[in-house]
Amino acid sequence: MSSSYENKYTRKQKIGAWWLMAGAKLVGWLPNWFLYHCFAPFIYFVMYRLLGYRKGVVRENLVTTFPEKSSQEIREIEQKFYRHLSEIVVDTFDLASMSHKEVKCRLEIENMEEHLEATRGKDWVAALGHYGSWEFFCGYGLHDKEATAIGVYHPLKNKAFDLFYRRMRLRIGAEPTPMKLLLRRLVSARRDGERFILGLIADQSPPKNYDIDHWYNFLGRPTAFFSGLEHISAKFGTPVYYLEIDKVKPGHYTSRFVQIYDGVEEVAEYEITQRYADALSNTIRRRPELWLWSHKRWKQQPKK
């Protein structure tokens, strides 16, 4: 699918992606102490102090989510978030040239052996959020080479960047699949007896033209979610595991899988997504600076 899908890009877009990858590799070859203790602080200064990148969105999201916190506490979380966001930028550069062994070390999964045994021979879904440094999970296929690790994504408007991210994810073991092609890809896998692992960043905000049929409680607010997690797990009978991530130090994370659906339990409609929303909410409240607050997550609200 990868080579045929690349035919959709123009020559100019491919050249742009090549330059992005070349630049990322050059930066990624710098020593980690420089990347995380010199380059990341520089990005933080430019993004937060100089440009004020989406500072209004971040501040509004934090104030609304944590009304019990003082303005000083909000500002501290805000600054920690921008420092973390700067490190995510560095992580992306680093991934472009990182060895497979290093990728596996950057996101340690504490219950890996237990999880591999529980999912042996099964298709399953990994539900993540924009928390920690989620791109490292693209390397999960390096742990379980008996299955195809499919990563769902929404194509970027800038096609050079879109292709850059596709190639970066491919080189560490993931198969990037656009949302609109996902169902066809999964049906094909089932038909051919191909075992799959589906990675979903499930906390994205649906577009305005999306048919919202339910509002979930997320961080104490009514929130719209894509229905993909719910529909796929029901249609294919796949267990769903939430990946709980924590940060150890810049560029290094620890995580563990928590099952939120076993693939056979009879659950009420919308229950699986609500379980995911609850799990992510708990994770965010423990260390709020690690979530992507610059995203306009609540731009859509229920009609009064």
Q: Confirm whether 71 is domain-assigned.
A: yes
Decide the pairing of beta strands 221-223 and 148-153: unpaired
- The two tokens of residue 209 are 């033209």
What is the pLDDT at residue 8?
87
CA distance 290 to 245: 9
Q: Confirm whether 301 is domain-assigned.
A: no
Predicted confidence (pLDDT) at residue 90 exceeds the cutoff of 90: yes
Considering its fold, how many domains does the chain have in total? 1
CA distance 177 to 208: 22
Per-residue three-class SS string for the chain: CHHHHHCCCCHHHHHHHHHHHHHHHHHHCCCHHHHHHHHHHHHHHHHHHHCCCCHHHHHHHHHHHCCCCCHHHHHHHHHHHHHHHHHHHHHHHHHCCCCHHHHHHHEEECCHHHHHHHCCCCCEEEEECCECCHHHHHHHHHCCCCCEEEEEECCCCCHHHHHHHHHHHHHCCCEEEEHHHHHHHHHHHHHCCCCEEEEEECCCCCCCCCCCCCCEEECCEEECCCCHHHHHHHHHCCCEEEEEEEEEECCEEEEEEEEEECCCCCCCCCHHHHHHHHHHHHHHHHCHHHECCCCCCCCCCCCC
What is the pLDDT at residue 303?
83
Q: Confirm whether 299 is domain-assigned.
A: no
Instruction: Calculate the CA 70 to chain-centre distance.
Output: 30
Domain, as residue range, for 56: 2-290
Q: Confirm whether 295 is domain-assigned.
A: no
Predicted confidence (pLDDT) at residue 2 exceeds the cutoff of 70: no
Phi-psi region of 133 (alpha: psi -120 to 50; beta: other; left: phi over 0): beta
Looking up tokens 């303005």 gives 71
The answer to whether 168 and 137 are in contact (CB under 8 A) is no
What is the pLDDT at residue 7?
81
Predicted confidence (pLDDT) at residue 112 exceeds the cutoff of 80: yes
CA distance 11 to 151: 25
Predicted confidence (pLDDT) at residue 207 exceeds the cutoff of 60: yes
What is the pLDDT at residue 272?
97
209 band by pLDDT with thresholds 50, 70 and 90: confident
Q: Confirm whether 302 is domain-assigned.
A: no
What is the pLDDT at residue 185?
96
What is the pLDDT at residue 3?
58
Q: What is the mean pLDDT of the chain?
A: 94
What does the pLDDT average to over 62-87?
98
Q: Confirm whether 297 is domain-assigned.
A: no
Predicted confidence (pLDDT) at residue 93 exceeds the cutoff of 60: yes
What does the pLDDT average to over 9-14?
95
CA distance 142 to 102: 11
What is the pLDDT at residue 50?
97
What does the pLDDT average to over 168-173?
92
Q: Confirm whether 205 is domain-assigned.
A: yes
The answer to whether 247 and 283 are in contact (CB under 8 A) is no
pLDDT in tens, 188-199: 999 999 999 999
Q: Confirm whether 180 is domain-assigned.
A: yes
What does the pLDDT average to over 283-293?
98
What does the pLDDT average to over 151-178?
94
What is the pLDDT at residue 119?
96
Question: Any residues with CB less than 8 A from the CB of 147 and at least 6 apart, and which?
Answer: 123, 141, 195, 196, 197
Rg for the chain, CA atoms, rounded: 19
Q: For the chain, give the percent of residues with pLDDT over 90.
A: 89
